[in-house]
């Protein structure tokens, strides 16, 4: 059969076209395979990197957990500025962690033993500290910055270690009192070391309440004492309620009651603030706060010299005992207290008005000689941003001068004092006893108590109005149980203290109970 030559030419043309298609197909397939291979390799790389970063993150968590364990074992662990490096995570071959305690704002480094370099004092996070934990896995690293917080003093309108009378104010001073109620009851110490009762319908703690001890209450037909304002207010009475009178119906609890809150110990002194103070005084110091722009203080030194200063930039002042020392033993039962014998004592006498934040600290006592307030609304509730801290190693007291007449002696005798209140004209210092006195402050008496001088003498002085927080080691007294002398209480929590604490206000840093309240990952 004869094949047409044109057909043969057409076949050869088709053969060439088919070959081109085959080559193109192979080329496209190769490209797809190459892209797929590259993509797969990339995914494998990404997956490996993600796995390593996840492992590094869990290594950082392991470091944080080790820090928490050490802190729970030794509550003072953080004060040593601990740091560790490249510690292998147990049961792993390529994971390790490192951690360090970060310095507080305004400090270049964390310094062992210097809590001011660790604890935040000048930010809204006052009373907290931070650590950084970094995990590493096969060269990949992740970090966590954790903030530790503790139940703070300024979270409560009322906080006591002991709900009993301060034994140091008695003569002779009883022994064995430094135990909680259950121990004192078991060992027959309640006669010498009694609780101060919370009675009737005239005592109201309008805010969160905490005591490490038992509270003795008397609630009956004359009324009930109340604790808290709203359900979210903690009412923490670790020793429970003790009935203080016959047929007592107990207290009125408006908050949430607990007997299992952590014990919150107080610092041993105010001396930590000496380092933070920009103004330092020696011996007895009189201060009157005056508002303005800026706020100022009229200061009378122990020498009698007077000077006017603006509030310090860091907001802390401190009065130390003089070189001559402080030999005065204070007792509110003295009747004719001599306010002139304490010239060598680190005592601050203070009153006035403020619109800028300040912390006044004293090696010995703080004595409030008149109203001590900031801007407020009609109800007396403080407004604005200024807060005041009062921190004394021993007592924080309301100045209450009386005449020297006191039948039968006043020591330990709260029912037989007939000394009269002194007016401003009768008082050698020109201040006199202040009726219906108001104090807007966070108050901390670290070794002794908060109370009123000569509380058992003279006619009643009306109400002691506190907007703030009261923290004391022992219970002080503000009025006598008979005769109506001294002040009735009006204690109200200033909620601003929870977020705007006074400068460098102390925290319960020697206690356990530190918890992580925030954990973040810093930018990488």
Give the count of domains, the chain.
3
Tokens of 55: 């492992």
Tokens of 145: 């910055």
Residue 120 counted as domain residue: yes
Residue entry with tokens 């470091």: 63
139 and 181 share a domain? no
Instruction: Tell me how crowded residue 111 is: count the other CB atoms within 10 A of its CB.
Output: 15
247 and 392 share a domain? no
d(CA 477, CA 475): 7
d(CA 437, CA 429): 18
325 and 176 share a domain? no
Instruction: Tell how strand 306-310 and strand 296-300 pair up.
Output: antiparallel
d(CA 412, CA 427): 24
Residue 296: the pLDDT is 98
Q: State pTM to two decimals.
A: 0.77
Task: Give phi and psi for 58, each to the nearest 5.
Answer: -70, -30
Residue 406: the pLDDT is 59
37: left (phi over 0), alpha (psi -120 to 50) or beta: alpha
Residue 435: the pLDDT is 96
Beta-bridge partners for 318: 280, 361
**Alpha-carbon distances of 109 from 27, 81, 95, 271, 427, rounded to whole Å:** 64, 9, 28, 21, 51
131 and 272 share a domain? no
User: Is 332 in contact with 455 (CB distance < 8 Å)?
Assistant: yes
Residue 38 counted as domain residue: no
Note down the domain range covering 176: 153-265
Closest by alpha carbon to 281, among 347, 359, 186? Answer: 347
260 and 342 share a domain? no
**Alpha-carbon distances of 55 from 60, 91, 94, 136, rounded to whole Å:** 9, 13, 9, 8
User: Is 466 in contact with 405 (CB distance < 8 Å)?
Assistant: no
87 and 229 share a domain? no
d(CA 286, CA 343): 11
d(CA 509, CA 79): 9
Residue 121 counted as domain residue: yes
Residue 469 counted as domain residue: no
- List of residues 6+ apart from 445 with CB closer than 8 A: 392, 394, 395, 396, 471, 472, 473, 476
User: Is 522 in contact with 496 (CB distance < 8 Å)?
Assistant: no
User: Is 99 in contact with 133 (CB distance < 8 Å)?
Assistant: yes
Beta-bridge partners for 319: 281, 362
Tokens of 350: 């203070």
Evaluate the omega torsion of the peptide bond into residue 264 and state whether it is cis, within 30 degrees of 0: no
Beta-bridge partners for 186: none
Any idea what DSSP says for residue 411?
T
Q: Does residue 444 sit in helix, strand or coil?
A: strand
Q: Last residue of a domain, which of 210, 231, 265?
A: 265
Residue 29 counted as domain residue: no
Tokens of 460: 């009643």
d(CA 486, CA 455): 5
**Alpha-carbon distances of 8 from 3, 234, 449, rounded to whole Å:** 7, 103, 119
Residue 16 counted as domain residue: no
Residue 405 counted as domain residue: yes
d(CA 356, CA 384): 9
Q: Does residue 157 sit in helix, strand or coil?
A: coil
338 and 436 share a domain? yes
434 and 392 share a domain? yes
**Alpha-carbon distances of 323 from 156, 327, 414, 428, rounded to whole Å:** 36, 12, 35, 27
Closest by alpha carbon to 193, among 174, 211, 208? Answer: 174
Residue 169 counted as domain residue: yes
Closest by alpha carbon to 437, among 456, 419, 416, 451? Answer: 451
Q: Last residue of a domain, which of 211, 234, 265?
A: 265
User: Which ranges constitute the DSSP H helices of 360-484?
Assistant: none
243 and 285 share a domain? no
Cβ burial of 523 (10 Å; 0-12, 13-18, 19+) is exposed
d(CA 486, CA 97): 60
516 and 369 share a domain? no
End-to-end, the C-alpha distance of the chain in Å comes to 82
What secondary structure does DSSP assign to 330-377, as a single string? --TT-SS--TTS-TTS--EEEEEE-SS-EEEEESS-EEEEEEEE--B-
Q: Last residue of a domain, which of 231, 248, 265?
A: 265
User: Is 374 in contact with 384 (CB distance < 8 Å)?
Assistant: yes
Residue 7: the pLDDT is 46
Per-residue pLDDT of the chain (524 residues; tens, 9 = 90+): 454 555 455 455 555 666 776 666 666 666 666 555 555 555 555 677 888 899 999 999 999 999 998 887 787 788 899 999 999 999 888 999 999 999 998 899 999 988 778 888 766 677 789 999 999 999 999 999 999 887 689 999 999 999 999 999 887 899 999 999 999 999 999 999 999 989 877 789 999 999 999 999 988 767 889 999 999 999 999 999 998 887 778 899 999 999 999 888 898 899 989 988 999 999 999 999 999 999 999 999 989 999 999 999 999 999 999 998 998 888 887 755 778 889 999 999 999 999 999 999 999 999 999 999 999 988 899 999 999 999 999 999 999 998 876 554 444 555 557 788 999 999 989 999 999 999 999 999 999 999 999 998 888 999 999 999 999 999 999 988 656 789 999 999 999 998 788 998 887 755 556 788 888 988 77
168 and 229 share a domain? yes
384 and 274 share a domain? yes
In this structure, the chain runs to a length of 524
d(CA 447, CA 444): 9
């Amino acid at each position: 059969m004869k094949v047409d030559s044109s057909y043969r030419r057409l076949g050869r043309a088709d053969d060439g076209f088919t070959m081109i298609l085959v080559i193109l197909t192979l080329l496209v397939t190769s490209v797809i395979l190459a892209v797929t291979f590259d993509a797969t390799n990339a995914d494998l790389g990404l997956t490996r990197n993600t796995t390593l970063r996840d492992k590094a993150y869990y290594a950082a968590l392991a470091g944080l957990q080790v820090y928490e364990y050490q802190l729970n074992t030794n509550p003072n662990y953080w004060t040593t500025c601990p740091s560790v490096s490249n510690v292998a995570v147990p049961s792993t071959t390529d994971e390790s962690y490192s951690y360090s305690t970060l310095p507080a704002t305004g400090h270049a480094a964390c310094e062992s033993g210097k809590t001011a370099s660790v604890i935040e004092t000048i930010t809204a996070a006052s009373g907290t500290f931070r650590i950084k934990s970094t995990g590493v896995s096969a060269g990949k690293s992740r970090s966590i910055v954790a903030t530790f917080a503790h139940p703070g003093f300024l979270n409560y309108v009322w906080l006591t270690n002991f709900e009993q009378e301060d034994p140091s104010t008695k003569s002779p001073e009883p022994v064995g009192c430094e135990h909680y109620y259950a121990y004192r009851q078991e060992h027959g110490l309640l006669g010498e070391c009694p609780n101060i009762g919370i009675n009737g319908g005239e005592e109201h703690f309008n805010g969160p309440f905490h005591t490490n001890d038992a509270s003795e209450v008397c609630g009956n037909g004359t009324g009930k004492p109340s604790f808290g304002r709203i359900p979210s207010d903690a009412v923490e009475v670790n020793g429970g309620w003790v009935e203080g009178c016959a047929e007592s119906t107990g207290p009125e609890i408006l908050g949430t009651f607990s007997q299992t809150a952590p014990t919150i110990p107080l610092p041993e002194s105010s001396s930590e603030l000496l380092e933070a103070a920009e103004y330092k005084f020696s011996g007895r110091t009189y201060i009157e706060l005056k508002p303005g722009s800026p706020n100022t203080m009229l200061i009378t030194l122990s020498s009698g010299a007077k000077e006017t200063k603006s509030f310090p930039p860091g907001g802390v002042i401190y009065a130390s005992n003089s070189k001559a020392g402080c030999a005065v033993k204070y007792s509110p039962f003295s009747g004719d207290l001599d306010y002139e014998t304490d010239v060598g004592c680190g005592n601050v006498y203070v009153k006035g008005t403020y619109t800028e934040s300040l912390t006044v600290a004293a090696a010995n006592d703080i004595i409030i000689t008149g109203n001590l307030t900031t801007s407020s609304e009609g109800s007396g509730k403080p407004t604005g941003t200024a807060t005041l801290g009062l921190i004394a190693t021993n007592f924080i007291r309301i100045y209450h001068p009386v005449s020297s007449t006191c039948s039968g002696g006043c020591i330990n005798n709260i029912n037989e004092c007939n000394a009269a209140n002194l007016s401003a004209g009768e008082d050698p210092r020109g201040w006199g006893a202040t009726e219906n006195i108001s104090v807007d402050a966070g108050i901390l008496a670290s070794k002794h108590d908060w109370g009123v001088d000569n509380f058992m003498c003279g006619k009643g002085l009306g109400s002691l109005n506190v907007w703030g927080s009261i923290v004391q080691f022992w219970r002080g007294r503000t009025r006598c149980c008979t005769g109506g002398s001294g002040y009735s209480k009006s204690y109200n929590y200033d909620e601003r203290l929870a977020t705007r604490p006074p400068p460098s206000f102390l925290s319960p840093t020697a206690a356990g109970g530190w918890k992580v309240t925030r954990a973040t990952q810093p930018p990488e």
